[in-house]
Amino acid sequence: MNAGRALWFSATTVAFFCGIAACAESGTADGAAIPSPSEAHFAAGRAAAEPDFPGLVTLCDAMPPAVTEARVVGNEGRRPEPPPLGPARVFDNLLFVGNRGISAWALDTSDGIILIDALASEKQARAGIEDGLRALGLDPEDIRILVISHGHGDHYGGAPYLVGKYNPEVIMGQPDWDALADPDNRINAPGWFDVPEPDRTIADRETVTLGDTTIELVVTPSHTPGTLATLFTVTDGDNAHEAVLWGGTGFNFGEHPGRLETYAASAEAMRIEVLDRDIDVLLSNHANRDLAHEKIPLLAGRGATDAHPFVMSPARVARGFEVFRECALGHAARIKASGS
Ligand SMILES: [Zn+2]
């Protein structure tokens, strides 16, 4: 049993025998301290993050403040533009067209481009997506489908501009369309920037095909209620790999244990799917999560026999979903134990 498995076993065992809050202060008969359920989950999450996921381990630290419209809109205009990153053809059919702060990914199909996320603004969409596609030899006029990973403005803010210019089909999870349409639903939909019009909604999971490329969109609450994970095949020369783009990562929705447990359940379901489907690439829409800013520069100097920096084994990708699950459960247990 490796260290990570031992900690997961320990966390599950403590939670099972103690209940979530009952034995937070308890010890064993010989006086050794038993970690509280939250501590056990956090320890398991931190262990699962070693060595591949330094960008995810911070989920086990203090939760960030909840996103609010006032906070986001108040900062708008004062926030420095993220430094550029890329563009880069990360796989033969997958392009990075984001920036150092926010990622957008483009699938280059036989019948045009599937764009995943629109960045935060027209300015970012012009610099990252339009200029990026052109620099890599593609034409933004060929954007046919825009998948919005979730209803936070840093991922849809550039959409009205792109839709007005290129008219792609716009796809987002049904719960996030609902939240964006509800002016009272500010935790889920802070309502920053103009919201694009929905063309297609995903209620659970669906496949979407463009030319020779089929992607699968899966609703994975609860970064937002309708956050979409996107599953697709990438190619690297003669090698094909299965990728998952986890559509929303942070716990920036406030101290809600039920929502954290829902997040953990989504992560656990995807962890199982990763192993069942041999998914060996884990991508994010923020470079600080999947370390795109460290991995993209490695592509330029990559030799013919060098491993691809974004590819890892399915077992290692699954460990990333253990980080999501354990950190979410750790915060849920912490909040419940505090009685809030
Ligand atoms: Zn978000």
User: 266-281: per-residue pLDDT in tens?
Assistant: 999 999 999 999 999 9
Distance 196 CA to ligand 1 centre (A): 16
Residue 4 has pLDDT above 60, yes or no: no
What pTM was estimated for this model as a whole?
0.88
Nearest to 120 by CA among 132, 112, 110, 128: 128
pLDDT digits (tens, 9 = 90+) for 209-261: 999 999 999 999 999 999 999 999 999 999 999 999 999 999 998 999 999 99
Q: Note the pLDDT of residue 12.
A: 41
One-letter amino acid for residue 253 of the chain: F
Structure tokens at 35: 């970690």
Distance 248 CA to ligand 1 centre (A): 5
CA angle 214, 220, 223 (to 5 degrees): 130
Distance 175 CA to ligand 1 centre (A): 14
The full length of the chain comes to 340
Nearest to 254 by CA among 94, 43, 71, 83: 71
Q: Note the pLDDT of residue 313.
A: 97
Residues measured by CB to lie within 5 Å of ligand 1, the ion? 152, 248
**Residue 18 pLDDT level (bands cut at 50, 70, 90):** very low
Distance 117 CA to ligand 1 centre (A): 11
At residue 137, what are phi and psi to the nearest 5 degrees? 90, 10
Distance 23 CA to ligand 1 centre (A): 34
What is the b/e burial string over 270-285, where b = at least 16 CB atoms within 10 angstroms of the residue's CB? Answer: bbebbeeeebbbbbbb
Distance 239 CA to ligand 1 centre (A): 32
Q: Which domains does the chain have, with CATH numbers?
A: 85-200 (3.60.15.10)
Residue 186 has pLDDT above 90, yes or no: no
Q: Note the pLDDT of residue 184.
A: 66
CA angle 220, 224, 227 (to 5 degrees): 40
pLDDT digits (tens, 9 = 90+) for 279-327: 999 999 999 999 999 999 999 989 988 999 999 999 999 999 999 999 9
Distance 67 CA to ligand 1 centre (A): 9
CB 279 within 8 A of CB 231: yes
Dihedral angle computed from the Cα positions of residues 82, 85, 89 and 90, in that order, rounded to the nearest 10 degrees: -90
Distance 216 CA to ligand 1 centre (A): 20
Structure tokens at 53: 């996921």
Distance 224 CA to ligand 1 centre (A): 7
Could you tell me the sign of the dihedral formed by the alpha carbons of 62, 66, 71, 77, in that order? positive
Residue 144: count of CB within 10 angstroms of its CB: 17
Distance 149 CA to ligand 1 centre (A): 9
CB 296 within 8 A of CB 88: yes
Pairing state between β 279-284 and 205-210: unpaired
Q: Note the pLDDT of residue 206.
A: 97
**Residue 178 pLDDT level (bands cut at 50, 70, 90):** confident
- Distance between CA atoms of residues 289 and 51, nearest Å: 14
One-letter amino acid for residue 259 of the chain: R
Distances (CA, A) of 210 to 13, 88, 150, 246, 301: 46, 22, 21, 21, 32
Distance 252 CA to ligand 1 centre (A): 8
R_g over Cα of the chain? 20
Q: Note the pLDDT of residue 76.
A: 53
**Residue 19 pLDDT level (bands cut at 50, 70, 90):** very low
pLDDT digits (tens, 9 = 90+) for 65-111: 887 665 555 555 556 788 889 899 999 999 999 999 999 999 999 99
Distance 191 CA to ligand 1 centre (A): 12
**Residue 23 pLDDT level (bands cut at 50, 70, 90):** very low
**Residue 129 pLDDT level (bands cut at 50, 70, 90):** very high
- Distance between CA atoms of residues 43 and 51, nearest Å: 14
Distance 155 CA to ligand 1 centre (A): 7
Q: Note the pLDDT of residue 67.
A: 76
Distance 21 CA to ligand 1 centre (A): 30
List Cβ neighbours of 228 (8 Å cut-off, separation of 6 or more): 147, 148, 149, 150, 171, 172, 173, 202, 217, 218, 219, 220, 247
CB 168 within 8 A of CB 118: no
Average pLDDT of the chain, as a whole number: 87
Distance 151 CA to ligand 1 centre (A): 7
Distance 319 CA to ligand 1 centre (A): 22
Distance 50 CA to ligand 1 centre (A): 24
Give strand ranges (E) for 237-339.
239-246, 279-284
Give strand ranges (E) for 59-142.
88-91, 94-96, 105-109, 112-116
